[in-house]
Structure 1
Amino acid sequence: MNTPTPEAPFTEPWQAQVFAMTIALNEAGHFTWTDWTAEFGPRVQKAEAAEYWRIWSEALVALLERRGIAGAGEVAALTARWQAAARATPHGTPIVLSAAD
């Protein structure tokens, strides 16, 4: 696994996506940066640099769950649906996520 650096903070596409999702949820008013740092800060202080984005993702899921926005199970189910849709989509074609069953 590559370690993020200031010059290349994202080593995988999902890292940029979870970052963008965090920004969008903050801008939509679902949580403040104070809420975010209270969740993320203690987790990341104990982590290795290579774990940064995994910790970020876990903190976001925990914050969403605490705020009643989405539970961990809902996030996992949506992630599985998204991954299946991505695998089924030819390269260069937009990924379409069908409505939940």
Structure 2
Amino acid sequence: MTIDQRAAMQATASVPGIPRDDEGPVFREPWEARAFAMALALHVRGLFTWTEWADALAQQIKLAQAQGDADTGETYYRHWLATLEKLVAAKNIAPASELHRYRDAWDHAADRTPHGQPIELTQGDFKSG
């Protein structure tokens, strides 16, 4: 078992709420799997412990619930991604402004890409502002 596989097993056992079946985590969309994988990679590299991650994720979910999230499970990985962005910014891995810049560029790239085609980020997707 690779270190990434061990980290995935630890994450699914340690972080409550991860949607899963008998084979492991279940993702509705490819971006959810990517967000999961990014969190695993940053954990393996020592950016945070799973306890720290679980605490930050729980805080994010509570905040979303307080703001009206119905907590049906459909928004779980949105909270996962928001937690990842906050930890990366808090740990000075990347400033929040840079994360937002890339998020906006990906949104722009997705908007211009025909359905079913791969999304490719280009320099033109970064709006000067």
* 8 Å contact from structure 1 (residues 61, 71) kept in 2: no
How do 1:22-101 and structure 2 match up within 5 A?
A: 22-44=39-61, 46=65, 48=71, 49-84=73-108, 91=117, 95=120
Amino acid at match of 1:66: A
Name the CA distance, whole Å, in 1 between partners of 2:35 and 2:77.
Answer: 8
SS in structure 2 of the partner of residue 50 of structure 1: coil
Cα distance in 2 for residues equivalent to 1:28 and 1:85:
29
Distance in 2 between residues matched to 1:50 and 1:84, nearest whole Å: 23
Moved over 4 A (4+): 83-88, 94-98
Q: CA deviation at 1:21?
A: 0.5
Deviations 1:46-99 (A, max 9, x none): 4501220111111111111111112222112122334555656x946x94666x
Residue identity matched to 1:15: E
Amino acid across the alignment from 2:74: A
2:34 counterpart residue number: 17
RMSD between aligned residues: 3.0
Structure 1 residue runs of 5 or longer lacking an equivalent are none
Higher deviation after alignment, 70-79 or 40-49: 40-49
Q: State the AA in 2 paired with 1:53.
A: Y
Question: Offset of 1:37 from its aligned partner?
Answer: 1.2
Larger Rg: 2
Q: Is the 8 A contact 1:40 1:55 kept in 2?
A: yes
Q: TM (normalized to structure 1)?
A: 0.70
- The alignment-based identity, stated in percent, is 31
